[in-house]
Structure 1
Amino acid sequence: MTQPQIPDDSHPMWFDETAIPTFEPLTNDLTTDVVIVGGGITGITAAYLLTQQNIKVTLLEATSLLNGTTGHTTAKLTAQHEIIYKDLIDKMGYNTARLYYEANMDALNLIDELVTNYQIPCDFEKQDAYLFSTTGEYKNKLEQEYQAYDNLNIKGNLEKEIPFNISIENALSMKNQAQFHPLKYLTHLVGLIQEKGGEIYEQTVAVDVEDSHGAAVVVTRDGFRVKANYVLACSHFPFYEGTGLYSTRMYASRSYVMAVKANKPYPGGMYLSVDQPEHSIRKATYNGEEIYLIGGEGHKTGQGKGMMEHYKALKRFCDDIFNENEYEILHRWSTQDLITLDKIPYVGAITKKRQNVLIATGYRKWGMTNGTNAAKLMSDIVLGKMNPYKEVFSPSRFSADPSLKKFFVENLDMAKHLIKGKMEIPRTKIEDFNPDEGGIIHIDGERKGAYKDKEGEVHIVDTTCTHMGCEVNWNESERSWDCPCHGSRFSYTGEVLEGPAETPLQKHDFHMADDYKFDDQRSGY
C-alpha cells in the first residue's frame, strides 16, 4: 500500500451497505397514542417496543432516519463506559453504580435477543472490552476502577498487555460485551414498526409541545399538529426543554473516527485508552473484509484546534499500531454527543409537572446501550410498567446532584466563550480566500461568517447562535459553524444541523466590492 491519505470528505461507512427506507414529510394534523420525535436508536427502538404492544405510534424525524449521532457511532455495545464506576460509587452510591451497570447490560442483552429472534444480519459479535493506560497516573486510576468492578461484582480482569504495538501500564477488561452494525439492525426494526402500523415521517421538524386537556400536542415547523397521550423526545438534544434548563445541564463533545484497512489480522477485543486524548480500536466488516475502526480525539464542540488536526492525530496513532504504508484509510467522520454533569443520561419526565412529555439525552458517547435502555425505560413508563432504573435516570435528580459545583464551572466556561466570540478582531481580507475555506469577517463592524465553496461562490451568515447568542466558530472538516457554548451546529448556509438551536443562522448578501476583512480561522477554531 502507498502512504495512507486522509479522505477529503466526511462519510460514515455504515451507510454504504444499508438500504435505509425513506418516508414523506407530515402534511396534515394527526391524533395518535404516542408521538416520538427523533429517528435514531432511541426513537426507533421505542417505536418498535410500543408497536409490539399495539400502541399507535407516530415517529417524526427532522431530516432522515439514522442520519444523526446513531449513524456516526463506532457501535460498541458495552457497559464499560470509560472510567465511571469508581466515580459513581463515590458520588452517587453503590446502588446507583450497580443499577447503571445492570441497565446497560440489560440493553445489550435486549439487542442480542432481538438479533437472535429475528435473525437480523447485522454483524453482531460478542467481544471483551478493554480500557488501557499508558501513564502511571491512569495506571492507578484503572486499579481503582478494577476495585470498583470487584465491589460491584462486574466480571473483569486487570491485565498487563494488549495485542497492539502500544506500550501500556495496564489494561482492565470487561467480559462478554459486543459490537454490531447499527444501521442494519435498526433498519430491520423499522420494517417491524411498519408491519405493526407505526407511522413514520421524515423532513418534519418538531418545534414545540402544547397542552390540550391533559393530552400533549407536538407542533411542527410547518404548522402541523400531532396530538398524543405521550410525547417521547428522542432527538439527541431535547427539541423541547420546558423548564428543565437542559442546555445548562449538559455540554456537547465531538470525536472522530477512521475506517482503516490494514495488512494485519484483527486480534479480537474492543479497546479504549483512558489517557488524554482517548483512542478507540475495534474491528468491523466492510465490503466483506475485516477492517479496523480507529476513534477518539474528543473535545468540546466549537472549542480546541482545527478539525483536520484531530484526524491527523488519529493517523499518527495508526502509524504507531500498524506498519507505515501498510494500511489504507477508507473513510473518516466525526460525531457529537451530550454529556450530563454526573455522567448519567437524563431519561424520563421532562419536569415533575409534565409527566406525559419524556426525554432521553446525555448518553456521553455510549448511545448504543444507553439509547436502548432509554427506549425500554420510556416504553415502560408509557405502558405503566415498573422499571428498576426509573429513579437512576430521572431528569429531576438534578436537585440532589452532588456535582452542583460542576454546573457552575460548565456555565462559566460557556460565558467565557460567549464573551470571547464578541471580541474577535479580523486580520485578513476576504479576497484572500481559497476555494473551500471559511472563517470570520466583519461587515460594518458586525461579526459574520464566510465560506467560499469549491466553485468559488461565497456564503455569508450571521455568526450569532440562534439558541442563546454565543458566537459560532468555523469547523473546516465538516464545513459547518459550531457553537462552543451549547453545541449547536449549522451548515455553511446557516441551516441547523444539530440542536439545541431551532432557527437557522441569518444569511447575508455578499458583494465582493465591499471592503470585508477576514479573521484568520481557516485552519479551524
Structure 2
Amino acid sequence: MNQGVNKKRLPLRSSSYWREDRTAKRFPKLEENIEADIAVIGGGMTGILTTYMLAREGKDVVLLEGTSLLDGTTGFTTAKITAQHDAMYNQLIKTQGIKQARLYYDAQMEAMHEIEKLIKRHDIDCGYKQQDAILNAGTDRGKELLAEEKSAYDRLGIDNQMTDRTTLPFHTERALIMKNQAHFHPVKFLQAIIEEIEKLGGTIYEGTTALSTEDRSNGAIVKTKDEFEVHCNHVVMATHFPFDDKKGFYFSRLHPSRSYTLAVKTKIEVPDGMYLGIDQPSFSLRHAETGGEKVAIFGGEGHKTGKSTDTLQHFENLLRFVDEYFGVREILYRWSAQDMSTPDGLPFIGQSVIGRPNVLTATGYKKWGMTNSMAAATLLRDLATGRENRYKELFDPTRTHLKKEAGKTILKELADDGTQMVRSHLKRKEKHVDEVKNGEGAIVSIKGKRAGAYRDEQGELHLVDPTCTHMKCGVEWNNGEKSWDCPCHGSRFSCTGEVIEGPAAKPLKRVDKR
C-alpha cells in the first residue's frame, strides 16, 4: 500500500456518492387526519415504486416518510440491477427446489426489465448501463463453489459463461458471468419517479413518523408520532424493518448486517462489469461515471450490526485493497449500509402476519434491493388491488416451510441475541468523560452509572442512556458512522440518540450532564 494512503485521507464525514445529487425539494408534514385508498410507509425505493405503481392504477395513495425521502438504505447501495445475487442458486435449489429457484430468478429478471421500461417511458437520465454481472473466485474452494453454481444455472436455464480469466488486476481462479445485467444511479432514477407520482395525483408527506397500525373490518388506520391518523383500505410497511411488528416476530426472523463502500478515482481504470468476490473477505466492484471519467464503487467488509469494535477500520481495509491493485488518486466518498436477511434467504413480501390482510410489508432483501424493490412494488400493487401474482407464495412472509427449515436458525439467532444482551450489560472498560475527544463517542461512567457520551466538533457533550429502547440490549459506539448500534436486533441511533434504523421506535433517553 502507498504510504500516503492512511486514515487522514478518508473523508471525515460518511456520505454517499448517490445522495449528493438529491434535489432540494421537500414535502410537508402531515398535520391533520386524512383518508386514502392506500397508505405506503417508507420513502426508499420500495415505498416510492409501490406508490408510483398504485397511483398509475388510479388509487388515492399517500406516502409517509419519517425523515426525508431517500434518506435510508436506498441512498447507500451499490445500485446493481441484477439477478445474480451472490452464489445462491445452487443453495436455493437444495432448500426450495428447482421450481421455486426459477421463480426467484424470473422475479428478478422481470424487475430488471420493468426498471428499464420505466427509464425509457419517462426518459430518465440516471446513468443506466448494461453490464455483465460476474462472480469471482480466487481460491480452490471458491472455484468449487462456482462450479456448483454454474451447474445450478444450467439446470435453471440461466444463460451464463464460465471463464478462468477476467480483466481484474488480481488473481482469478474462475469467474461465472451472467450476461446483460445493468447498473444505474438510483437517486436520479427515483427523483424522476417521485415527479411522476405527483403528476399522477399521489400525496407525499415527509417528517411524518408512523408509530402503529390498527386493523378495521374494512381497512386500517395508521397512527403517527404527532397523533394524526390516516384511514385507508391497505397499509404497506416499506420501512426496511417492519415498524409495527404485531405477532410477526420480525426481530427474531430478520438478521441485520452492515457493509462498507468507497467511491474512488483510481490510477488504473476499473474494468467494465459488476464484480462480486465469493471468497472471504468478499468484495464488490462496479463503476460510475462523472464527467466522462470512471469512478470505482468498491464495497465489502460485511459483518453483523453492532459487532465490530472499530468500524472505521473496515473502510481502511477497503482502501488498502483498492490502492494495492488500482492505485488511489482521490477518495470521493465513504459510506456504509444496513441490510436485512431472512432465514431462508428469500425476501418477505406480502401480508405481514396471518390475520392482518390489510397490512402488507416488504423486507429482507439480503443486500439486493434494486430488483427486489421492484419485485416487491409489483407484488404489493397486485395484493392491494386484488390481482393474481405468481410470486405471492414464494415471498409470502407467513410461508409455512420456514417453521421447519428456519426453526433451528431462529433458535440459534435468539440464543445469540440473548448472549449478546448479557454481554452488552456486563461491566466493560469505560472512559472518563473528560477523555472523550471532539468527534468521538464512548461508554463512560457518570455518577457510577453507564452512559453513552458523544462530544461534537464544537466540544459540546451529549449524553444518552446506552440501552436500546427496543428490547433493552446495550448499544455500541460506531466510530465510522458516529452512531449508537444495537448488536441484538440492529436498531441504530444517531450520536445524540435519535432513531436511525428500527426495530426501535423511540430514541435513546437523554442523560443529565450535571
Q: TM-score, normalized by length of structure 1?
A: 0.95
> Which of the numbers 333, 347, 352 marks the counterpart of 1:350?
352
Question: For the residues of structure 2 that align with 1:165 and 1:305, how far apart are their CA atoms?
Answer: 31
1:106 is paired with a residue whose SS is helix
Q: Which amino acid aligns with 2:391?
A: Y
Q: Does the Cα contact within 8 Å between 1:435 and 1:455 map onto a contact in 2? A: yes
Alignment of 1:140-155 (within 5 A): 140-155=144-159
| Structure 1 position 477, deviation (Å) | 1.2
Question: For the residues of structure 2 that align with 1:37 and 1:3, how far apart are their CA atoms?
Answer: 45
Structure 1 residue 420 corresponds to structure 2 residue 397: no
Of residues 387-396 and 266-275 in structure 1, the stretch that sits farther from structure 2 once superposed is 266-275
Structure 1 residue 231 corresponds to structure 2 residue 235: yes
Q: Does the Cα contact within 8 Å between 2:433 and 2:445 map onto a contact in 1? A: no
Question: For the residues of structure 2 that align with 1:445 and 1:250, how far apart are their CA atoms?
Answer: 35
Aligned residue in 1 for 2:33:
29
Alignment of 1:2-151 (within 5 A): 3-4=4-5, 5-19=9-23, 21-151=25-155
Q: Does the Cα contact within 8 Å between 1:136 and 1:169 map onto a contact in 2? A: yes
* Residue 285 to residue 24, structure 1, CA distance change in 2 (3 Å): same
RMSD after superposition: 1.4
Aligned residue in 2 for 1:171:
175
Q: Does the Cα contact within 8 Å between 2:431 and 2:445 map onto a contact in 1? A: no
Structure 1 residue 439 corresponds to structure 2 residue 426: no
Aligned residue in 2 for 1:503:
506
Q: Does the Cα contact within 8 Å between 2:215 and 2:356 map onto a contact in 1? A: no
2:57 is paired with a residue whose SS is coil
Runs of 4+ aligned residues of structure 1 deviating over 4 Å after TM superposition are 398-401
* Residue 167 to residue 427, structure 1, CA distance change in 2 (3 Å): same
Of residues 98-107 and 403-412 in structure 1, the stretch that sits farther from structure 2 once superposed is 403-412
* Residue 228 to residue 127, structure 1, CA distance change in 2 (3 Å): same
Q: Does the Cα contact within 8 Å between 1:166 and 1:320 map onto a contact in 2? A: no
Q: Which amino acid aligns with 1:456?
A: G
Q: Does the Cα contact within 8 Å between 1:426 and 1:442 map onto a contact in 2? A: no
2:405 is paired with a residue whose SS is coil
> Which of the numbers 353, 359, 363 marks the counterpart of 2:365?
363
Q: Does the Cα contact within 8 Å between 2:430 and 2:443 map onto a contact in 1? A: no
Question: For the residues of structure 1 that align with 2:169 and 2:329, how far apart are their CA atoms?
Answer: 15
Q: TM-score, normalized by length of structure 2?
A: 0.97
| Structure 1 position 459, deviation (Å) | 0.9
The Cα offsets for residues 331-360 of structure 1, whole Å up to 9 and x where unpaired, read as 111111111111101000011211110000
Q: Does the Cα contact within 8 Å between 1:156 and 1:172 map onto a contact in 2? A: yes
Question: For the residues of structure 1 that align with 2:24 and 2:96, how far apart are their CA atoms?
Answer: 41
Aligned residue in 2 for 1:519:
none
Q: Which amino acid aligns with 1:391?
A: E
Q: Which amino acid aligns with 2:372?
A: N
2:336 is paired with a residue whose SS is strand
> Which of the numbers 275, 279, 282 marks the counterpart of 1:278?
282
- Where do 5+ consecutive residues of structure 1 fail to align? 512-525
> Which of the numbers 231, 251, 260 marks the counterpart of 2:264?
260
Question: For the residues of structure 2 that align with 1:469 and 1:476, how far apart are their CA atoms?
Answer: 22
Q: Which amino acid aligns with 1:50?
A: L
Question: For the residues of structure 2 that align with 1:447 and 1:274, how far apart are their CA atoms?
Answer: 41
Q: Does the Cα contact within 8 Å between 1:437 and 1:452 map onto a contact in 2? A: yes
> Which of the numbers 372, 375, 378 marks the counterpart of 1:373?
375
Alignment of 1:374-523 (within 5 A): 374-398=376-400, 399-511=402-514
| Structure 1 position 171, deviation (Å) | 0.9
Structure 1 residue 248 corresponds to structure 2 residue 256: no
Question: For the residues of structure 2 that align with 1:481 and 1:31, how far apart are their CA atoms?
Answer: 37
The Cα offsets for residues 190-233 of structure 1, whole Å up to 9 and x where unpaired, read as 11110111000000000000123421000000000001100000
The Cα offsets for residues 47-70 of structure 1, whole Å up to 9 and x where unpaired, read as 111111101000000000011000
2:357 is paired with a residue whose SS is strand
Question: For the residues of structure 2 that align with 1:484 and 1:427, how far apart are their CA atoms?
Answer: 18
Q: Does the Cα contact within 8 Å between 2:270 and 2:326 map onto a contact in 1? A: no
| Structure 1 position 287, deviation (Å) | 4.7
Q: Does the Cα contact within 8 Å between 1:165 and 1:320 map onto a contact in 2? A: no
Question: For the residues of structure 2 that align with 1:368 and 1:56, how far apart are their CA atoms?
Answer: 25
| Structure 1 position 444, deviation (Å) | 4.1
Aligned residue in 2 for 1:341:
343
Of residues 464-473 and 447-456 in structure 1, the stretch that sits farther from structure 2 once superposed is 447-456
Alignment of 1:300-315 (within 5 A): 300-315=304-319
* Residue 194 to residue 38, structure 1, CA distance change in 2 (3 Å): same
| Structure 1 position 400, deviation (Å) | 4.2
- Where do 5+ consecutive residues of structure 2 fail to align? none
Q: Does the Cα contact within 8 Å between 1:58 and 1:200 map onto a contact in 2? A: yes
1:428 is paired with a residue whose SS is coil
Q: Does the Cα contact within 8 Å between 1:342 and 1:401 map onto a contact in 2? A: no
Q: Does the Cα contact within 8 Å between 2:352 and 2:361 map onto a contact in 1? A: yes
| Structure 1 position 20, deviation (Å) | 5.2
Question: For the residues of structure 1 that align with 2:305 and 2:413, how far apart are their CA atoms?
Answer: 13
Aligned residue in 2 for 1:317:
321
Q: Does the Cα contact within 8 Å between 2:430 and 2:445 map onto a contact in 1? A: no
